[in-house]
């Protein structure tokens, strides 16, 4: 038997094949798009704090990944036998096929999304929290754009799987590519030629979408996003007159008998602390003494087990009741500007966008005004000329200065710093400390966890030392100077 080339070429123009190809493409794309959206929601549900939601998502994924698609297809198609009201939809092979495919694929796509979501650093969630971004905004603007980059290659792969799985839909007599081929070769017995044509049409669908997806991947590639330096005026850390500093009697933040446990470990044991307006408080102490926990409880990154925290004279955080549900929670959290040890800039946004994001999200001011204000904050930290760059183009010290500008853009009452220079190379520490010092001179209220002892003695109005979850020393700069050289705090400062 000879291979019939003429017959094969004639199949290139066979209208039923083209109709079937369009159908497969359409079915594949619809399944993929709907499954990708539902799968994302399911992946979020799997990470939910609510146990029943988590349980539902887990069970769904387990069940529909275990069930063969063929079984599901026949099941869905025949469901109207029990529920005749479903007949108008489920007795149509296309809809029955689509529904079965979506049900099954959502389970797989959810796991792909979960991989993407897990890959986004926890610091991104924390940075969003510090800017007062609500969950929907956080996922939309910060988490999803980063997660999707990781998930995209696997999502694309799943599209190919879906296209191939559509061949199973022929069992419920939907005229997709394979079924058209089968109908041909059962009449003319030219099985090989017909299957070559069938393969060609499948490969065509997959290749066209493969091309589209690889384009999309390139567009979303952060490493390819670059911005040039620009000429901007006043690219120096501005110095305010030394007379500007004054500590007032007004209390901005007060911790009242705060306790925090992590299992058996007591991270904070009955900590009370008041910070006045304009005051710069340095927090020092050995590693593991509770400094980070202390600062994270103040801006609600960490719940507390006992006590309460007052902000601007009003109730803010308490161990009882769910203060997070308060209508103004996300606005009040922006009263506290937070700077993290690991910067936590948003990698998919330019420097300028990192700074404008918070104010824009909270809807304050028009675009031009926001931009101008952000450029002002960037100039303040000496980063205006880098406004168009992306975080991956910056040094650690530059990133941290942008992070400070981002926090300042929310016009906070008080700035919280958690070891802002610990992740930096020694030669970059100075530029960040200089910025913090200039903020101190301008009268900004600040709580700074740091190991830089020379900086502590230069800028702090007060030094608080922690040990094993307790505040073991709390004294003004003058008291510190007057304290005996062999006191605990002086000894610790000398070691540091």
Query: Quick one: what does residue 194 bind among Mg ion, ligand ADP, none, with the CB cut-off 5 to 8 Å set by partner type?
Result: none
Residue 265 interaction partner, one of Mg ion, ligand ADP, none, beta carbon < 5-8 Å per kind = ligand ADP
Between 89 and 472, whose beta carbon lies closer to Mg ion?
A: 472
Cα 132 to Cα 108: distance, rounded to the nearest angstrom? 33
Could you tell me the smallest distance in angstroms from the CB atom of residue 284 to Mg ion? 11
**What are the φ and ψ backbone dihedral angles of 284, each rounded to 5 degrees?**
-125, 170
In the block, tokens 């603007």 appear at 141
Q: How far is the CB of 228 from Mg ion (least distance, A)?
A: 36
Neighbours of 74 (CB within 10 A): 16
- Min. distance of Cβ 415 from Mg ion in angstroms? 17
In whole angstroms, the minimum distance from the beta carbon of 424 to ligand ADP comes to: 17
Closest by Cα among 347, 351, 311, 346 to 332: 311
Closest CA to 408 of 365, 379, 388, 433: 379
Q: Which of 99/267 has CB closer to ligand ADP? A: 267
For 422, residues 6+ apart whose C-beta sits below 8 A from its C-beta are: 341, 451
Q: Which does 189 bind (CB under 5 to 8 A by kind): ligand ADP, Mg ion, none?
A: none
Which of residues 291 and 332 has its CB atom nearest to ligand ADP in the complex? 291
Q: Rule CB under 6 A: is residue 265 a binding residue for ligand ADP? A: yes
Tell me if 292 contacts Mg ion by CB under 5 A.
yes
3 touching ligand ADP, by CB under 6 A: no
Choose between 65 and 488: whose C-beta lies nearer to ligand ADP: 488
Task: Report whether 436 contacts 404 (CB < 8 A).
Answer: yes
Q: Which does 287 bind (CB under 5 to 8 A by kind): ligand ADP, Mg ion, none?
A: ligand ADP
Whole-angstrom distance, CA of residue 312 vs CA of residue 252 = 5
Q: Supply the minimum distance, in Å, between the C-beta of residue 164 and ligand ADP.
A: 44
Backbone φ/ψ region at 47: left (φ over 0), alpha (ψ -120 to 50), beta: alpha
Q: How far is the CB of 159 from Mg ion (least distance, A)?
A: 44
Among all residues, whose Cβ is closest to Mg ion?
292
CB of 127 to ligand ADP, least distance (A): 17
Structure letter (DSSP) for residue 132 = T
257: part of which helix (H) or strand (E)? strand 251-262
- Give the up-direction half-sphere exposure of residue 455: CA atoms within 13 A in the CB hemisphere: 25
Q: Give the binding-site size for ligand ADP (rule: CB under 6 A).
A: 11
Asked if residue 256 lies in contact with residue 272, where contact means CB atoms within 8 angstroms, the answer is yes
Q: CA–CA separation, 141 vs 277, rounded Å?
A: 33
Token pair of 21 as six digits: 């190809």
CB of 294 to ligand ADP, least distance (A): 7
Residue number, 300 or 466, with CB nearest to Mg ion: 466
Tokens of 51: 């146990």
Residue 299 binding target from Mg ion, ligand ADP, none, CB below 5 to 8 Å by type? none
Q: Mask of contacts with ligand ADP, 267-306, x by CB under 6 A?
A: x-----------------x-xxxxxxx-------------
Which residue lies nearer to ligand ADP by CB, 293 or 299? 293
Interacting residues of 340 by C-beta distance below 8 A, sequence separation 6+? 123, 126, 127, 403, 418, 420
Does position 488 interact with ligand ADP (CB under 6 A)? The reply is: no
3-state helix, strand, coil in the chain (%, to 5): 60, 15, 25
* 8-47: contacts with ligand ADP (CB under 6 A): none
User: Among ligand ADP, Mg ion, none, what does residue 365 contact (CB within 5–8 Å per kind)?
Assistant: none
Binding at 330: pick from ligand ADP, Mg ion, none (beta carbon under 5-8 Å per type): none
> Smallest distance from the beta carbon of 361 to ligand ADP, in angstroms?
27
Site residues for ligand ADP, 224-263, by CB under 6 A, read: 262
Q: Give the neighbor-by-neighbor strand order of the sheet with 445-449.
A: 336-339, 414-418, 445-449, 280-284, 462-467, 470-476
Instruction: Mention every residue, 6+ apart, whose C-beta is less than 8 A from residue 458.
Output: 437
Q: Which spans of this chain sit near ligand ADP (rule: CB under 6 A)?
A: 262, 265, 267, 285, 287-293
Q: Which spans of this chain sit near Mg ion (rule: CB under 5 A)?
A: 292
């Amino acid at each position: 038997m000879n291979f019939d080339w003429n017959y094969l070429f004639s199949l290139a123009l066979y209208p039923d094949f083209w109709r079937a190809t369009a159908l497969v493409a359409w079915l594949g794309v619809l399944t993929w798009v709907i499954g990708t959206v539902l799968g994302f929601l399911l992946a979020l549900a799997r990470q939910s704090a609510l146990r029943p939601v988590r349980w539902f998502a887990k069970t769904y994924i387990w069940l529909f990944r275990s069930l063969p698609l063929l079984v599901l297809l026949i099941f869905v198609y025949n469901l109207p036998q029990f529920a005749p009201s479903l007949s108008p939809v489920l007795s149509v092979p296309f809809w029955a096929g689509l529904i079965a495919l979506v049900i099954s694929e959502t389970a797989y796509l959810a796991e792909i999304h979960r991989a993407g979501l897990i890959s986004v650093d926890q610091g991104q969630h924390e940075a969003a929290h510090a800017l007062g971004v609500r969950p929907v905004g956080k996922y939309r603007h910060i988490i999803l754009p980063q997660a999707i980059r990781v998930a995209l290659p696997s999502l694309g792969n799943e599209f190919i799987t879906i296209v191939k799985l559509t061949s199973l839909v022929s069992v419920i007599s939907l005229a997709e590519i394979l079924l058209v081929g089968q109908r041909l070769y059962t009449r003319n017995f030219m099985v090989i030629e017909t299957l070559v044509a069938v393969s060609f049409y499948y490969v065509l669908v997959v290749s066209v979408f493969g091309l589209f997806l690889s384009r999309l991947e390139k567009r979303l590639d952060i490493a390819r996003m670059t911005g040039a330096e620009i000429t901007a005026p006043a690219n120096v850390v501005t110095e305010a007159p030394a007379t500007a500093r004054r500590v007032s009697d007004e209390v901005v933040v007060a911790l009242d008998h705060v306790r925090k446990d992590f299992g058996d470990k007591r991270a904070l044991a009955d900590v009370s602390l008041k910070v006045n307006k304009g005051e710069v408080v340095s927090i020092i102490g050995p590693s593991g003494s509770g400094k980070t926990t202390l600062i994270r409880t103040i801006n609600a990154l960490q719940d507390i087990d006992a006590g309460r925290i007052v902000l601007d004279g009003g109730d803010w955080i308490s161990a009882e009741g769910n203060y997070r549900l308060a209508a103004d929670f996300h606005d009040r959290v922006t009263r506290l500007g937070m700077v993290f040890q690991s910067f936590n800039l948003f990698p998919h946004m330019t420097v300028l966008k990192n700074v404008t994001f918070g104010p824009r999200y909270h809807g304050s001011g028009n675009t031009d005004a926001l931009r101008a204000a952000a450029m002002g904050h960037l100039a303040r930290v000496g980063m205006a000329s880098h406004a168009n760059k992306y975080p991956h183009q910056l040094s650690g010290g530059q990133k941290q200065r942008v992070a400070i500008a981002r926090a300042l853009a929310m016009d906070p009452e008080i700035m919280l710093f958690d070891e802002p220079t610990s992740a930096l190379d020694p030669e970059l520490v100075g530029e960040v400390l200089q910025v913090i010092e200039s903020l101190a001179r301008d009268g900004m209220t600040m709580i700074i966890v740091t190991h830089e002892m020379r900086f502590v003695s230069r800028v702090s109005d007060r030094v608080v030392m922690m040990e094993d979850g307790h505040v073991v020393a709390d004294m003004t700069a003058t008291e510190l100077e007057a304290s005996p050289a062999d006191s605990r705090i002086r000894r610790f400062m000398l070691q540091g």
